[in-house]
Structure 1
């Protein structure tokens, strides 16, 4: 590679624009090249912002297909940026999708000069229990016809071509095999396979445990762990695998940079058992972060998704379980985010989990009070910590929030929440006077 002199223009990596001047003979190719230059400019800006969901694009299960009909899901309107930096989405209205294991290619005329516009071919998904990613990617097709003529045709139309290029999106399912990969321990490999084999029958606890394992398989595989075994090693060796790129975006064989993952679903012969959005959903975050995750960067996008995934799972478990007051945490969750919120049951009051039963097998100290301002700081700090492995039997801190407890005790029946954090996080319940309320102070034991 030859060296460039200072002040020499380096033009071979820049965007090529069509130069317009008086008297130039323009062709369709010239105009298409200029359109592509604008698209490349927008893609580079999109990559600078970072891939992920900008707004909306939530996925709801409308019909699980247990009656033999096709399962249906609703995707809400919204926008996203894919790995190429392209803006894709549904800017105006929601859409309803009918899921199918057999997919025939659509009958449209694609705009072939778009990077992600090629139509999908025939696809056959395997029958039986399977885990799938619902992905969205951009598509473009010609709409309408316009006459065309050549230079020697004296303005007489000799044919026609597409009048407009209409941009849109398409959705597809990509099979995900969570037990594959070098970052899956033999124990988890066997647990995945056992759950997948047995969940053809209706076992709610098994559903919950599989959902938890799938969530952390997507959110926290070994390649995306915030700190490797030796946190200083990457400062002396250039190991790309120790970096968290693309905003911690979900990676799966079969997905490419054109795709934006929207949801993870578990589909058996009896229908779709659950849809987990936050297992694969990532909010936009710039692609550059600190080495090893020691400096805040895209890992915060994963930490945010981890909390959302857990809270959505807890809400579904609370609504679907017949006796939530008998639920024990370790029977439904193998991994927890570094901080989370648990709705508790009061009488009278909304349904919830039993504080004693839910945390029965979890090592923890007596509950302490914190305040709402501390709660915000607690969750902000939790993004720097790894998830909790329930099987490790490590200490977990548990708190009540003073404002929430006061409202429940004085205003009327309200839901009370317990907040837990990883034992690796600093303890927020140190002995201190509460700024406004004596009954909610913490006392040190002598």
Structure 2
């Protein structure tokens, strides 16, 4: 033991860094020493993270019986070194690797060779850091003539190598306290007489199931000092080197690789203080083993499911391949479209249940199970079993757990009511929980004093009901009690029931009013003014969108930026402005402003020729947002500003024209074309160019209305170029008009 005084630096066995000062002569040894110091510093960070597998390094059968596939991955070894495999590799287990085996300049791994697999037996595959020289560099002799006379490595590259370690499973099982039956099951690993329980017993040898159970039974037995429990800890004291991370157990036979089990030895990075044997009973390491036990079981069960045929799966029982089970697990049940096992899979094991539970409870069962040791089928322990239903109501899978956890059956519990929030009379809802008694006809549902019978599709964990239409509730909602009862109990929850929300109906209209200045010049500001009119009931929050988001800002009448929906009552009119900071460098500027609420939309698209005066809007003319009427045949859609059409599709745009002055009004479509790819014509009030509409009388509300129909189509196949169609209405002899444009695009 060293002696130390207060306020005195203790540097014994610290990391020596090279001291640099002007005039000092540096050698390769000095630079190498500094690299080693930096590596040791990084290793301190690695040890703080903890040894274990970060990701990847999954092991599966390779390209031949003597190969395994190892996926790209990252791990931390016990000394704190990072081990990274950047790509998947096909690893030969019999041909020695040609690269360095861990004895590079900057690693702390001792050179060691693999146990070449022969005969039959068990092997541990481990990953370890390695390095290798790469490229060449010239050098000169120290104090020589300065002429290059030497040659040496230019780079030392960090890498990874793998080692195969022979394992005596029976000796380890005896040392860990496993009974003779387990030792016998491990006696012929890889051989023709290998026990069907061998993989399961082997996994729980490395998952430390028996030692942890013994420690809980006798926590104050010897040794009581600092102890790292388990089979991997025993191997670290011998065959497994301090720089190696175990990644898989592999059995070997005369035919090559047998089974591969990764989860039995795979651990996530973890580090904890040095606990005594008693203190270690409360560490997180046990939960890591619980998670590994669950993952190993599910992987092993999935392998069995894939290897057995349908008849064998139906006859399979867990005891055929498992002595030890995780504290909780999931078993798929065979159903249409998915292979699985029969609900008799527990065989002669003592079970309680099965009882149905909601799918949302499974996660909590698994989380709690990770704190428990594994189930030993040979001990006669009672196993709790639950069923989880699929959407059709049939059993999808079984969930089992140790009887050391609370049993969830034999009670009625409401877990959730879906959807959440206020319920509405006449609405179909879902009540989730357990013990509802639907399959026995005992389920009863009441909203205060009104009954609601469960609907078809319900189950013992899921009730579908309709909120009674006879309930008396306030429009804003009334608090009441939702009660479910069956032959095993009653549970209730408070809910709020109101009237159904009224969906908005009506129309939104977007009208262009003016542009200032009337001539748009590149690089200069401009303001476009629009009027939004709402004929929608009830009051709604209207969302405005505009196509010039990268160079224009939408503001209200006060000049405040509009960043969210605007509230509009029926009959409201709102004036908004589109402020363009700088007119972009284009010949023609197309801008769309759209308003939307629910499925109701209104829009106005206009084209402005840069550098030419913009005709003013005729205040006596308003073109209301159209109804879109796709014709039978190929698909056509309309989102308020763009019409998208499939090949040979046709659609009508039904406009309403409002005028406030009597007289003659001319209507035209630009471009008016009957040729591909976008034929667009006036089909009402008459076909052709410049049809005239006569208005002789104005109604009592000061407005006369007329209907206009524009028919658009798509004749071309492939990807037609986008186009624009514009409807224009004006009074003869006047420069002002009303117009609205729409984009045409392929679908």
Query: Normalised by the size of structure 1, how large is the TM-score?
Result: 0.85
Higher mean alpha-carbon deviation, 4-13 vs 165-174, is at: 4-13
CA distance in 1, matches of 2:53, 2:27: 38
Confirm or deny: 8 A CA contact 2:236 2:242 kept in the other structure.
Answer: no
The answer (yes or no) to whether the contact 2:114–2:165 under 8 Å persists in 1 is: no
What per-residue deviation string (whole Å, max 9, x for no partner) do you get for residues 226-268 of structure 1? 843234x38x984223x45999897584211211111111111
- CA positional deviation for 1:428: 2.9
Closer, same or farther in 2 for the Cα pair 1:445/1:170, shift >3 Å? same
> Is 1:112–1:118's contact at 8 Å kept on the other side of the alignment?
no
Residue 149 (structure 2) pairs with residue 147 (structure 1): no
Confirm whether residue 179 of structure 1 aligns to residue 199 of structure 2.
no
CA contact (8 A) 1:325 1:353 kept: yes
Q: 2:182 aligns with which of 179, 188, 196?
A: 188
Partner of 2:41: 41
Matched residue, 1:90 = 85
Aligned to 1:354: 342
Distance 1:214 1:247 in 2: 12
Q: Which residue of 2 aligns with 1:334?
A: 323
Aligned-pair CA distance for 1:12: 0.9
3-state DSSP of counterpart to 1:366: strand
Q: Displacement of 1:117 after TM fit?
A: 5.0
User: How far did 1:408 drift?
Assistant: 4.0
**Contact 1:289/1:297 (CA < 8 Å) preserved in 2?**
no
- In the aligned structure 1, how far is the partner of 2:107 from the partner of 2:179? 38
> Aligned residue for 2:412?
432
Cα 1:223/1:362, change in 2 over 3 Å: closer
Report deviation, 1:445. 5.5
- Does the C-alpha gap of structure 1 residues 145 and 115 become closer, same or farther in structure 2, counting only changes over 3 Å? same
Deviations 1:96-124 (A, max 9, x none): 11221xx5473759865333455544754
- Over 3 Å counting, the alpha-carbon distance change for 1:249 and 1:168 in structure 2 is farther
Contact conserved, 2:71 with 2:89, CA < 8 A, in 1?
yes
Identify the match of residue 260 of structure 2 among 275, 278, 289.
Answer: 275
Structure 1's unaligned 5+ residue stretches are 66-70
Matches of 1:382 and 1:191 in 2, distance apart?
27
Give the drift of 1:190: 2.4
Are residues 397 and 120 of structure 1, via their aligned partners in 2, closer, same or farther at CA, if it must alter by over 3 Å? same
CA distance, structure 1, for counterparts of residue 23 and residue 315 of structure 2: 81
Q: Which has the higher strand share?
A: 2
The verdict on how the C-alpha distance between 1:309 and 1:89 changes in structure 2, with shifts beyond 3 A counting, is: same
Is the 8 Å Cα contact of residues 52 and 283 (structure 1) preserved in structure 2? yes
CA–CA distance in 2 between the matches of 1:119 and 1:13?
24
Correspondent of 1:79 among 74, 78, 83: 74
Equivalent-residue separation in structure 2 for 1:215 and 1:152 (angstroms):
62
- Contact 2:126–2:247 (Cα < 8 Å) also in 1: yes
8 A Cα contact 2:122 2:250, kept in partner: yes
2:657 maps to which residue? none
* Structure 1: distance between partners of 2:199 and 2:248: 12
Correspondence 1:370 to 2:357? yes
Segment drifting more, 426-435 vs 8-17: 426-435
Q: How does 1:1-40 map to 2 (within 5 A)?
A: 1=1, 3-40=3-40
Q: Pick from 294, 301, 313: which aligns with 1:324? A: 313
Relative to structure 1, the CA distance from residue 283 to residue 324 in structure 2 (aligned partners, 3 Å threshold; closer, same or farther) is same
Distance change >3 Å, CA 277–CA 246, structure 1 → 2: closer
- Structure 1 residue 382: deviation in Å? 1.1
**Structure 1 residue 296 corresponds to structure 2 residue 283:** yes
Moved more, 118-127 or 211-220: 118-127
Shift of 1:326: 0.5
Q: Quick one: structure 1 residues 130 and 29, their matched pair in 2 at CA, closer, same or farther if it must change by over 3 Å?
A: same
Select between 150-159 and 34-43 the one with higher mean Cα deviation. 150-159
Q: CA RMSD in A?
A: 3.0
2:391 aligns with 407
Return closer, same or farther for 1:251/1:188 CA change in 2, 3 Å cut-off: farther
Q: Structure 1 residues 215, 11: closer, same or farther in 2, change over 3 A?
A: same
| Maintained 8 Å contact 1:52/1:82 | yes
Which residue in the other structure is 2:152 paired with?
A: 161
Query: How far apart, in 1, do the equivalents of 2:55 and 2:234 lie?
Result: 16
Contact 2:50 2:76 in 1 (8 A): yes
What is the aligned counterpart of 1:200 among 192, 196, 200? 192
> 90, 104, 118: which is aligned to 1:126?
118
Deviations 1:153-180 (A, max 9, x none): 1321121211100111111211111110
Aligned length: 419
Q: 1:226 touches 1:299 (CA, 8 Å); kept in 2?
A: no
In 1, Cα distance between the equivalents of 2:327 and 2:360? Answer: 18
2:383 matched residue in structure 1: 396
Q: State the distance in 1 between where 2:50 and 2:215 align.
A: 22
Q: 1:49 to 1:110 in 2, by over 3 A?
A: closer
Return the match for 2:107 from 115, 122, 125: 115
The separation in 1 between residues aligned to 2:130 and 2:213, in whole angstroms, is: 34
- Relative distance call for 1:152 and 1:196 in structure 2 (3 A) is closer
Partner residue of 1:215 out of 203, 207, 225: 203
Q: Secondary structure at the match of 1:279?
A: coil
CA contact (8 A) 2:333 2:343 kept: yes
TM-score, structure 2 normalization: 0.52
1:68 alignment partner in structure 2: none
Q: Specify which of 103, 106, 110 is matched with residue 98 of structure 2.
A: 106
* 1:117–1:140 contact (8 Å) kept in structure 2: no
| Alpha-carbon offset, residue 329 of structure 1 | 0.9
- Among 400, 415, 426, the residue aligned to 1:420: 400
